[in-house]
Chain A
Amino acid sequence: MLEVRNLQKQFGGLTAVKDVSLTVPQGKIIGLIGPNGSGKSTLINVVSGIYPATSGAVWFKGDDITHLSPHQSFELGLGRGFQDASLFFQMTVLDNTLIPVKKQRGERPWLAPWWRSWLGEEKQNANRADEVLQQVLLRDHINKPAADLSGGQMKLLELARTFMGEPDMLLLDEPTAGVAPTLAYNIFEQIRLMRDQFGMTFLIVEHRLGILFDFVDWLYVMHMGEILAEGTPDEIMANERVRDVYFGD
């Protein structure tokens, strides 16, 4: 599904990502872990097109997407979530959920003033959003401003919103940051449900290793901008070099 080949990202003299190669097969949940500053978020930002790569390549579903912008990658089916809850806070939960729907007639400026041309489509989209929000237990908040939700609900809304764009794969940067442990578990259960029901693929950066290890199929460990190790959660836990990086000698 996703293949990163010898990717490098430099900011001036600083090399944040060094010759990273990794593979994410379809329908898998892959974890990307490592200490703070190891280059995980930078890697996600380069893969999703927010930062241009210095060298190397990113392939998605057989297409070279190295130089595509984030909206072009999204069109191809590669979505992403952000570390901070990146909602449109002044908009309602429903409006937030409707934003990523692709090819909306009402988003064309020449059709937008003629409500009849898109209202039927909007109702269908809203019905789908309603189902998705019910899935993540946010249906009762559908017409509230997103700013009124709790931190955990915001993360769930972000997940539901990205799902509305029907991506084949999601890059998630700390989807449980700042969320209570029970809700964090719930978020990962939703991720697994999306994988099982819709065959979606995930690459997840996460610091809560206890929860992450229960859900991922494979892990990559980054350190100092490089891939230090890869393997199943059990293999990673047994890896001495990984232990050294996390806990010191």
Chain B
Amino acid sequence: MTFDVVTTGIALLTYFGIFSLMAISLNLEYGLAGVPNFGKALFVSIGAYTAGVTYTRLLPIIAGHTPLNPCGETLGQALQLRSEIMQGQPVAGFVNFGITLVIAALIGGVVGYGLSYITLRLKEEWFLALVLLVGGEILRITVRGYSPIICASNGVAAVAQPFSFFDDVRTASVAYMLLVLVLALMAYIYAERLTRSPFGRLLKAIRESDRVAQSLGKDAARVRAQVMMIGSAMAAVAGVLFAVNIGFVSTNDYVVALTLDVWVMIVLGGMANHRGALLGVFIITVLDRATAVVAVQLSMSDISIEFNYVRFILFGVILLLMLRFRPQGILPEKPQTTQVADGFARTS
């Protein structure tokens, strides 16, 4: 087997972009606001399932066809129709992709706001963590057993990325990688501006003490629900990009391990520092790809080691070492928030 550096690089950067969205969203929620979102997979899966629904129902309508049942006897025809539309009608593909992103962000945002506002008014934030963790599993098991969404455990294939009309696969991959990186960059700029605004300062205050923030007139439950809405919408967008990148929507991809991967990324890089989060994403993505490549290479040889499990051990060790020796992450949080502080530094 030959190792294609360019293809691996494209895949790595695409994953980097997608996971950057997830990590930035978690960094806003936990790093800044102290909301322990252990349901990241829930919101990512909302995006993926949305893509599963729009690609099988909406896409044919946009392209001027009658949607076919994607699960039953017409499975093959429906799959072929999707492929033909994505390759032959790029405008329909892009319109569907855009609408999918918007719907996913809306559903993710509404679910994020609703769940957290109700839960945070009842109990403290760790109760929300449990609700989200369990909620992700409930949704996954429900979707796996309920055919109309993504054909239950069979999943939905041919959820192609919008550049698949290019004849050259590599060109299509590079174009999609660039699209993902642009979206990740936009998310980074948005999060950075949010963090350095009075809203970011408010989130930090609530993280440090919601009791004190409330006594200073701040509705902590509502503000935390707002940041959950933003983070969940972002995670749902990442879910669409993730599903479209692999071209397949399956419940198997949105397990608790996905949530934990994103946690390792922000703990490693630096909580409440978005550059740190991106650094964490980069390191973990490289390690993830590297261990995957080594696993494949080993499986091709006579060595009988299941190397995929080394990845879990490695991430666990990284998490423990960081929490023990550098809990603030590689790039720690900066204390200053307000944009007008520099003026006072000069005059004082």
**A, B: real partners:** yes
A208 interface residue per 8 A CB criterion: no
CB interface residues, A 78-135, toward B, < 8 Å: 79-80, 82, 86-92, 94-95, 98-100, 102, 104-109, 112-115, 118-119, 122-123, 126, 130
Secondary structure type dominating chain B contacts: helix
A122–B199 contact, CB under 8 A?
no
A165–B190 contact, CB under 8 A?
no
How many angstroms between the C-alpha atoms of A55 and B199 in the bound complex? 37
- Cross-chain contact of A112 among B198, B336, B338, B340 (Cβ < 8 A): B198
How many angstroms between the C-alpha atoms of A102 and B216 in the bound complex? 9
Known: A90-B333, A122-B340. A104 touches B219 (CB 8 A): no
B208 interface residue per 8 A CB criterion: yes
B200–A80 contact, CB under 8 A?
no
A145 interface residue per 8 A CB criterion: yes
Set of chain A residues within 8 Å of B336, measured between Cβ atoms:
92, 95, 143
A75 interface residue per 8 A CB criterion: yes
Nearest neighbor of A118 in chain B, beta-carbon distance? B198
Q: How many residues of chain A are within 8 Å of chain B by beta carbon?
A: 47
B198–A74 contact, CB under 8 A?
no
How many angstroms between the C-alpha atoms of A119 and B342 in the bound complex? 13
A139 interface residue per 8 A CB criterion: yes
Known: A74-B217, A92-B337. A112 touches B212 (CB 8 A): no
A74–B197 contact, CB under 8 A?
no
Set of chain A residues within 8 Å of B204, measured between Cβ atoms:
88, 90-91, 95
Known: A88-B204, A91-B208, A119-B339. A82 touches B193 (CB 8 A): no
Set of chain A residues within 8 Å of B325, measured between Cβ atoms:
none
B residues lining the A interface (CB < 8 Å):
190, 193-194, 197-202, 204-205, 208-209, 211-220, 226-227, 230, 333, 335-341, 343-345, 348
23 contacts between A and B (CB under 8 A): A69-B219, A70-B211, A71-B214, A71-B217, A71-B219, A86-B211, A86-B215, A88-B208, A91-B204, A92-B337, A99-B205, A99-B213, A104-B198, A106-B198, A106-B199, A107-B199, A107-B202, A112-B197, A119-B339, A122-B339, A122-B340, A139-B348, A140-B348
